[in-house]
Amino acid sequence: MASSLDVAAVRHVARLARLKITDAEAAMFAAQLSKVLEYVEQLNEVDTRNVPPTAHTLPVSNVFREDIVRSSWTPDQALHNAPDRHDGFFRVPKVLDQESS
């Protein structure tokens, strides 16, 4: 485990998480997250060889239902909270630029 995060590493993680952060935030998070990572280092004391992981505690895996058509939302209902919409769609800035499309 690498038990500290510098500002560059924080910026990299923020980019992965799609979070815009200020320089002040990057510095603050670097210090705070390093402390937390240092704390979680203690897990290395635990011998986990041959221990299976537990992602959730219930003895169920896949739960299926009948594959039948049911009623669902109208486009209007689905768009109810949309910050921007156009003709029954969510509108966003152009995803691909002209040349690559």
CA distance to 7, 17, 35, 72, 81, per residue, from 22 (Å)? 11, 14, 20, 41, 28
Task: Determine if 8 is a binding residue for other proteins (CB under 8 A).
Answer: no
Min CB(45)–other proteins separation in Å = 8
Q: Is 60 in the site for other proteins (CB under 8 A)?
A: yes
Q: Residue 38 in contact with residue 4, Cβ under 8 Å?
A: yes
Considering only residues 18-37, where is the footprint of other proteins by CB under 8 A?
A: 18-21, 25, 28-29, 32-33, 35-36
C-beta of residue 87 within 8 angstroms of C-beta of residue 93: no
What are the tokens at 47?
């011998």
Q: Which residues bind other proteins (CB under 8 A)?
A: 1-2, 5, 10, 13-21, 25, 28-29, 32-33, 35-36, 39-40, 42-46, 48, 51-58, 60, 63, 65, 73, 77, 80-84, 90, 92-95
